[in-house]
A and B are shown apart, each in its own frame.
Chain A
Amino acid sequence: MIGKNRRKRTWFAAAVLAAGSLVATSLPAHAETGVSASEIKLGITLPLTGAASPGYNKVGDAMNAYFKYVNDNGGVYGRKITLIQKNDEYSPTLAVAKTNELILKDKVFALVGSLGTANHKAVAKSVGLQRRGIPDLFINTGFSGFADKKVYGTTFPLFPSYYMEAKIMAEFIKDNYAGKTLGLVYQNDDFGSDAVKGFAQAGLKFDVTIPYTSGTQSASTAQTWVSQLAAGKAQVVVMFGVTSATGPLLAVAAAAKYAPQWILGSVGGDATTLRALGVPAAVLTGAQGASFLPSPGDTSDEYVKLFQEVNAKYNNNVAFDNNVLVGMNTAMLTVQALRAAGQNLTRRGLIRAIQSKGSKFASAGLAPLNWSSSSQVGYNGYWFGQYDSAGNMKPLSGGVVVYTTDNAKGAVVKSNYKRPAMPAKGLPNNS
């Protein structure tokens, strides 16, 4: 009898153990927010409507197109990527509200490619991205402050900072336009101020300086800018603003027959968007600008060629411009980051993977990536070119020459960086 009871107890214990093991093995090791056996949910906030939306509203769809391409080719370790886009109208208030929706309601695994300096500062603070360990990948802003690991520990900037861009641009101007009267129009917030600090660090002084408040850009405000620039006889004018400010400035200047040498910052220099905003092709032709990516019209570049194919198949073949290129490049980096984090995907694992392997990721960028355990900086260099009549930025004589620098007092140096070859068919296979 005793033996029978003992046997019963042993069977019972074994059954419980077996059932427990079964349950344990059938459950994922760690149920991470936004990750299931078949899906990875990502989120982005960007201006889909509103004054700042022209151009930027294409970034999310471009990312989605590349993710669809990857999903159709097996996804990331069998998981399909879903990108949820939310419209923040370039308003920090809405950006916070929409990011809260993404995190609390849609329960995304990570944020990717979110756009706007002020928006993102508010989001990082209000939502507490660092404190909650939410990965905030490849943000679409170059504010140098985001590279501060202590404050934005889970945020990975992708663009070279505006501070770096200004330092590099200052050297370019000193080399090419010494002795000319210089003008600067810039957005009077963290975005533009970052650039102003960079110019000051490089020792470049402007004869006419015009700050403008974000949201006030229009044809009538551009009229006052042009009047001031013309009155100051500025021969070379640097525009450090969003596209919706650059557009009216160029259009109004052309109408007033004021034609300085324009040098456009990377944020507001997308040719397709500028032309959609009414800038005549003739005005843009000859303007100079900076970029860390190949020209969107350069089909000899393997990344551009692939992205154009993806654009044709998955993105309704929209006009392929810098915004589409940025979106797809961001998406390709995201896929590599997700792969590098391994099959057992966690937020912490993703952040570590970018820190340890991010600098080796393949991308269309012509400047090096700098993510590491001690650096949150993405690209750190630019090349300068001139817009042709088709709106493509062509390198100045001597081909593409990339210059790199840092977020501090480091010098601007010529880069020897060799870009990694694109993975076969543009489908990352890293681990």
Chain B
Amino acid sequence: MRKRLLFFILLGWVLLIVGDRVDELRVYQGAQISMYAIALSSIVLLTGYSGQVSLGNGAMMAVGGYAAALTLNNLQTPIWFAFLMSILASAIFGALLGASAARLSGPYLAGTTLALAVGLPALANQFGFLGGEQGILFDVGFPPERFGEEFSQYKWFFWIATFIALISLFITSNILHSRFGRTWRAIRGNSLAAELAGVHSARMKVLAFTISSAIAGLAGAVLAMTISLVSPGAYTLSLSFALVTGAVLAGISSLPGVMLGAVILVAIPEFADVVAHRLGDSEKVITHLPGLIVSVLLILSVIFTPNGPGENLRKHRKKKSAH
């Protein structure tokens, strides 16, 4: 654990230095990578460890985002409290959902969470206090003056997002290396055998759902911060699919892989932009190409490397070292 802590401190220090050296676009993308890394870690915990397939992570993120914004706007609290509330609200929501979905598995659970991803963000349109399609502002404020005039808003987002991501990943890593992580893996491997060994499978699944939702909610609040508002348009179905794709590509049970997955998700629109430009800047191509790339990557990955290329590489390396 001490080694892990040192690693995260060192990583934070390196990111801080890198953030100071690159241009504003990369800094902003750095904040997005941090947000995706948190979101992907929630899928790794839920799907990679406890074996529950969820397509509704975007909805969990929406719960966190709205909770943070409502807290900040209505209670005028410090930022950290808003982020804390995003964790709490989405954890409660996840616990309720997990309890009701505990009897479901495989495609049935995926279907239920998919419906949630479609329906939940759209609920904002039904309640005035959620701001409808236009959403509500989530303003974390300007960076402190002591950082100087040159310290941009993007860098402020990057610092907050990276700080939150490092803490979140450190805690998640510890959870996955604890007895909870081992129990979830046992359930994922063979639920019946785990129960025979004394594991309360349903309870552990609900716990995984709760923690995963809490992490996703936190990612939702970070996403809201980077765009300064929450609205249904931020938590679309395509976000949920993109997250699943990112997690699969990174290796569904690999926590370090979430960094790679997050980088891929940020790189896809860049790549799509280049391709769209070559194809003549058609508006239809620009609008739909990123979604198409995500879908194709997901399909290819599931066909050729069901657990993701990251997972295959890891197994390949293990085999090699065994020889």
Contact = CB atoms under 8 A, between A and B. Distances in A.
Interface string A168-192: 0000000000000000000011100
B153 A128 contact: yes
Given A93-B234, A122-B135, 18 more contacts: A87-B283, A92-B134, A92-B135, A92-B233, A93-B135, A93-B229, A96-B228, A118-B134, A118-B229, A122-B228, A125-B229, A126-B229, A131-B142, A132-B152, A214-B133, A215-B132, A215-B133, A215-B134
Interface residues of B, number: 30
Nearest to A57: B283
A264 B152 CA distance: 43
Interface of B: 23-25, 28, 125-126, 128, 131-135, 137, 139, 142, 152-154, 226-229, 231-234, 283-284, 286-287
Interface stretch (A21-29, A97-105, A231-239): A97-105
Contacts of A429: none
A261 interface: no
Interface of A: 48-49, 87, 89-94, 96-97, 100, 104-105, 117-119, 121-122, 125-128, 131-132, 188-190, 211, 213-216
Contact of A91 (B126, B128, B231): B231
Contact of A189 (B134, B153, B233, B287): B134
Contacts of A117: 134
B227 A93 contact: yes
Nearest to A90: B133
B233 A91 contact: yes
Nearest to B156: A128
Contact of B137 (A122, A127, A188, A216): A122
27 contacts: A48-B283, A49-B283, A91-B133, A91-B231, A92-B227, A92-B233, A93-B231, A97-B227, A104-B23, A104-B28, A104-B154, A117-B134, A118-B229, A119-B134, A121-B137, A122-B135, A122-B137, A122-B229, A126-B227, A126-B228, A132-B152, A213-B125, A214-B133, A214-B134, A215-B125, A215-B133, A216-B125
B227 A96 contact: yes
A127 B25 contact: no
Which 6 pairs of residues, A with B, have the shortest CB-CB distance? A215-B133, A118-B134, A126-B228, A213-B132, A91-B233, A104-B25
B76 to A, nearest CB: 17
A50 to B, nearest CB: 9
B28 A188 contact: no
Interface majority SS on A: helix, strand, loop or mixed? helix
Nearest to A103: B24
Contacts of A96: 227-229
A125 B284 CA distance: 29
Nearest to B127: A213
Nearest to A52: B133
Contacts of A188: 128, 132
A213 B24 contact: no
Chain A CB within 10 Å, residue with most, of B126, B131, B142, B286 = B131
Given A48-B283, A49-B287, A92 B229 contact: yes
A121 B125 CA distance: 19
Nearest to A127: B153
A402 B231 CA distance: 38
